[in-house]
Amino acid sequence: MEQGPVISIGTLNEHKNRKNRFAIIEATALDIEGNIQRVSKKSITGSVWTDLKYKWVGIQGITMCYILQNDNSYLNGWNYEKRIEVEQEKTKLIKKEIIKSYARLPEQNIPPHQKITYKLTYYAGPKLYYHLASIGNDFNKIINFGTILSPISRFIIWGLNILYKIFKNYGICIIILTIIIKIILYPLTKSSMVSMKKMKELQPQMEEIREKYKDNPQKMNQEIFALYKKHKVNPVSGCFPIFLQIPIFFAFYKTLINAVELKGAHFLWIKDLSLPDTIIHIGSFPINALPIIMGITQLISQKQTSTDKKQEQIIYFMTIFMLMIFYNMPSGLVLYWLVSNIVSIVQQWMINKHTNK
């Protein structure tokens, strides 16, 4: 193994006592094959050397990242380490996680009375996706948008940045981008909504079939499916809009926890779109307004598309379930889902009005 000089990439100091559930903190490297390697903070134990060849190695915190590249060759090794330090802060003992990363340069023979020069590129700055992309060398790959959803996340951050140049407010940008996404998906959404409305209209006939063949489940299912076929109704089509939104939801989540642009971005009463919109605390419990409003729109949207009164308990359960999921999510993500619900309510109302003529 070559023993070239070792150079520090950067150090991250994170308060262990500080809850930051949305933070992505990890050591990252791009090998000479162009494959990205990531090691999350939770996975780092002690000090680890990886003796492989890398194009660049880096480390990223909540908003900052540090990247080192050997311009003339490759990096011959990569180290990441974590240790816990305890500091006295007023009357409290504060635990800090110290995360460090190093790189090893290739070994070179130095003739007597001579010197050698390594030409390096070093970046220390905010995790701005398109700024890092403009530097080149695949530096933007340090931002972890995931693998499958990365194209959607890149579209979202691109769209938000384009819209921000016009509207200068990321809350407004999220609203407009959500509407654009809903318009793009509208043909599929419309097909689903029309099918759900037809199912709702067929509910009395379905009840008659269930009552008539209650002692013969096989015959009952045959008659119900025959009814679906006759009226060209797809019973599972109502799930399509939700399935379509799931990857966009996770891509928005990945974008919000990585996009430095949204850190501290204000909108209406929201102080930071990358964090929950807590307006007050009752004791230690935060009151977040946006998820509550979102829950109300979720209930209205589900009631619009429900096909059976027996589904009401499920609707209330799903509303509470979604409220619990979103309650402590970044407010920008909740804003996306809220606007998506509102647009769905309007779309369903328009479809109902058109088909009732």
291 or 42: which carries more pLDDT confidence?
A: 291
Average pLDDT estimate for 119-124: 88
Structure tokens at 136: 């080149």
pLDDT digits (tens, 9 = 90+) for 211-266: 777 777 787 878 777 877 777 776 665 566 666 667 877 887 777 777 777 778 88
CA atoms within 13 A on the CB side of 91: 0
94 or 339: which carries more pLDDT confidence?
A: 339
CA atoms within 13 A on the CB side of 245: 20
Token pair 């067929």: residue: 202
What pLDDT, on a 0 to 100 scale, did the predictor assign at position 328? 85
Angle, in degrees to the nearest 10, between helices 150-167 and 240-258: 70
Structure tokens at 18: 């500080």
Token pair 């990363």: residue: 101
What pLDDT, on a 0 to 100 scale, did the predictor assign at position 239? 60
Cα(82)–Cα(27) distance, rounded to whole angstroms? 11
Token pair 């099918």: residue: 195
pTM score over 0.85: no
pLDDT digits (tens, 9 = 90+) for 282-329: 888 888 889 999 889 988 877 766 656 666 677 778 788 888 888 888
Cα(293)–Cα(288) distance, rounded to whole angstroms? 9
**Gap between the terminal Cα atoms of the chain:** 79
Nearest to 351 by CA among 116, 190, 211: 190
pLDDT digits (tens, 9 = 90+) for 51-110: 888 899 988 887 788 998 888 888 888 888 887 777 666 777 777 778 888 888 887 777
What pLDDT, on a 0 to 100 scale, did the predictor assign at position 176? 93
What pLDDT, on a 0 to 100 scale, did the predictor assign at position 167? 92
CB 293 within 8 A of CB 339: no
How high does pLDDT run on average in the chain?
79
Cα(241)–Cα(299) distance, rounded to whole angstroms? 16
What pLDDT, on a 0 to 100 scale, did the predictor assign at position 16? 47
Cα(320)–Cα(323) distance, rounded to whole angstroms? 5
Token pair 């890092």: residue: 132
CB 67 within 8 A of CB 57: yes
What pLDDT, on a 0 to 100 scale, did the predictor assign at position 172? 93
pLDDT digits (tens, 9 = 90+) for 162-173: 999 999 999 999
